[in-house]
């Protein structure tokens, strides 16, 4: 018996590893095609499912649970990798899009779905709510490779991180027995309560976590990324236990921790990015397994009708309503409207009615699945062209300076490690041009396999790795100066870089 169990385990690990490896290699193909990798992962799931290799899977309730957990990982990584200095100016507009914009989008899509598909109001509202939010995984994977104005990218990324909790709460309430008993005001009050609790728990978890990670001297550098992401999961689960939105909490906590000065910060970002990719691959393969290709063809026309109602009418109207306050030019409104990508979130939400056993649940799932695939194929590849036509595209710029830090225990200092990116204004400068605080010492330069001890005549080059010893009191000033020089060169102060907002201490 034990041998058979071991054989089953070995086969499961082998198959899972093979699927994961194929998923990782598929990223390169998706990048080259300008498509979110979700489409390839869905295809893998369909190939493994009932119409492919015949792997049976019909557990919608399990998919909902695992999908929500995967979304927490993806959204948490999005918060960690978002810079507050970029997000802060667009927070008002992103907040409007995530609340008022979602309400407009859901209402318009529901009304048009009711008229076009001749479905009851509950089914129409579920369709509108399920597709009402943009998707974090699709948005992050496409926009972070697309050279558009930073304000627009930050708006779309912040919106996709903030607008999932309201629609998840709405879909859950409409699909449950509360639809028969609760009033509109009660549903709205529950929405507000869960969002407020989620934000509060996220802020508390981020603040406490940042303090604990800065002051706790862990015995291994590999424990810092693990501890950082554990705080995100604590925020997610803690908010849910208190009756709040776990996804809102995990995004807010990630945003706080990602903009705090934590030990081994870059290693933590790399660890979180790897977990987010793993969550994406597992999530979309699972959703592909749950789908039934034999039914999808019948859902094509309804999906086209709902998708056109959403993309051509509801989303542009929502953007226009929210842009009145921000006074966005019409060209930017056009790009924001077309860049509202759908992905994992709508398909995961479509499993909630299936798990609840609603009569129209299967049809909703099939329509949403086809809608996501078809409109992702239409929208994602055309975004670079639209960015150029609307004038929101920008020339590619060098990567921001990534500074890694490690605490020097007992010395009230830290080791800072950074690499001079290609195209950085730091390349070609003498070490003395950095004009670091007197207490900060540039100890070593690693170049082409050699370790150099720099002096006043050492010239920095692209690809150099610098190692600095910096006392804690001047660490903030040192990092600000390094980033300023990387962007503007030796004349950074003349360009106002001294006023650059910095992350929280």
Output the tens digit of pLDDT for each of the chain's 505 residues.
444 445 577 777 887 788 778 777 776 666 555 556 677 778 888 888 766 677 777 788 888 888 889 888 988 888 888 878 777 888 888 888 888 899 999 999 999 999 999 888 989 999 999 988 887 767 777 776 777 887 888 888 888 877 877 888 888 888 887 777 766 677 777 778 888 899 999 999 999 988 888 877 677 777 888 888 899 999 999 998 998 888 889 989 999 998 887 777 778 888 888 888 888 888 888 888 888 887 888 889 999 999 999 999 999 999 999 988 778 888 989 999 998 888 778 888 888 888 888 888 888 999 998 998 888 888 888 888 898 888 888 765 445 566 666 666 556 777 888 888 877 888 888 888 888 888 888 888 888 888 888 888 888 888 888 888 888 888 888 888 888 888 777 776 644 455 443 443 3
* DSSP states along 218-273: -S-TTHHHHHHHHHHHHHHHHHHHTTS-HHHHHHHHHHHHHTB--TTHHHHHHHHH
What pLDDT is attached to residue 203? 93
Tokens of 184: 């509109």
Give the DSSP letter of residue 454. -
Q: Where are the domains of the chain?
A: 7-390, 403-499
Write down the pTM of the prediction: 0.73
457 token code pair: 């005549």
Specify the CATH class of 7-390 in words: mainly alpha
Burial class for 492, CB neighbours closer than 10 Å (0-12, 13-18, 19+)? buried
Measure the CA–CA gap between 333 and 339, rounded to whole angstroms.
Answer: 10
Q: What is the pLDDT at residue 317?
A: 94
Helix (H, G, I), strand (E, B) or coil at 465: strand
What is the CATH code of the structural domain delimited by 403-499? 3.30.70.1450
Angle between helices 102-117 and 121-130 (to 10 degrees): 130
């Amino acid at each position: 018996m034990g041998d058979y169990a071991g054989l089953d385990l070995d086969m499961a690990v082998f198959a899972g590893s093979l699927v994961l490896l194929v998923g990782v290699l598929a990223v390169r193909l998706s990048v080259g095609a300008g498509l979110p990798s979700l489409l390839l992962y869905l295809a893998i799931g369909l190939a493994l499912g009932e119409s492919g290799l015949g792997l049976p899977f019909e557990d919608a309730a399990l998919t909902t649970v695992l999908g929500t957990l995967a979304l927490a990982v993806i959204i948490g990584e999005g918060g960690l990798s978002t810079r507050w200095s970029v997000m802060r100016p667009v927070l008002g507009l992103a907040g409007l899009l995530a609340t008022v914009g979602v309400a407009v989008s859901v209402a318009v899509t529901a009304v048009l779905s009711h008229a076009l598909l001749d479905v009851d109001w509950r089914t129409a509202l579920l369709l509108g709510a399920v597709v009402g939010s943009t998707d974090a995984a699709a948005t992050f994977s496409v926009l972070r490779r697309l050279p558009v104005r930073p304000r627009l990218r930050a708006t779309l990324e912040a919106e996709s991180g903030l607008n999932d909790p309201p629609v998840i709460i709405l879909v859950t309430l409409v699909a449950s027995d509360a639809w028969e008993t609760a009033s509109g005001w009660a549903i709205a009050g529950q929405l507000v309560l869960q969002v407020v609790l989620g934000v509060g728990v996220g802020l508390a978890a981020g603040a406490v976590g940042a303090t604990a990670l800065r002051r706790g001297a862990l015995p291994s550098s590999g424990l810092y990324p693990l501890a950082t992401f554990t705080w995100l999961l604590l925020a997610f689960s803690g908010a849910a236990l208190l009756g709040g939105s776990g996804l809102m909490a995990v995004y807010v906590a990630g945003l706080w921790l990602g903009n705090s000065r934590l030990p081994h910060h870059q290693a933590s970002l790399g660890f979180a990015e790897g977990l987010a990719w793993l969550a994406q691959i597992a999530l979309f393969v699972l959703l592909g397994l749950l789908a039934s290709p034999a039914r999808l063809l019948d859902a094509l026309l309804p999906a086209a009708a709902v998708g056109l109602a959403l993309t051509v009418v509801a989303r542009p109207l929502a953007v226009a309503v929210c842009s009145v306050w921000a006074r966005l030019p019409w060209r930017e409104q056009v790009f924001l409207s077309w860049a509202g990508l759908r992905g994992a979130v709508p398909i995961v939400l479509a499993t909630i009615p299936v798990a609840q056993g609603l009569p129209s649940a299967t049809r909703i799932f099939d329509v949403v699945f086809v809608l996501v695939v078809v409109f992702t194929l239409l929208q994602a590849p055309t975004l670079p062209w639209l960015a150029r036509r609307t004038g929101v595209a920008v020339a590619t710029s060098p990567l921001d300076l990534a500074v890694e830090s490690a605490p020097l225990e007992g010395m009230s200092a830290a080791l800072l490690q950074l690499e001079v990116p290609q195209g950085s204004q730091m390349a070609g400068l003498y070490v003395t041009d950095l004009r670091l605080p007197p207490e900060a010492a540039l100890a070593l330069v690693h170049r082409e396999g050699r370790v150099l001890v720099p002096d006043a005549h050492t010239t920095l080059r692209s690809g150099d790795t610098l190692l600095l010893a910096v006392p804690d009191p001047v660490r903030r000033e040192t990092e600000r100066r390094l980033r300023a020089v990387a962007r503007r060169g030796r004349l950074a102060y003349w360009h106002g870089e001294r006023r650059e907002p910095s992350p929280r201490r």
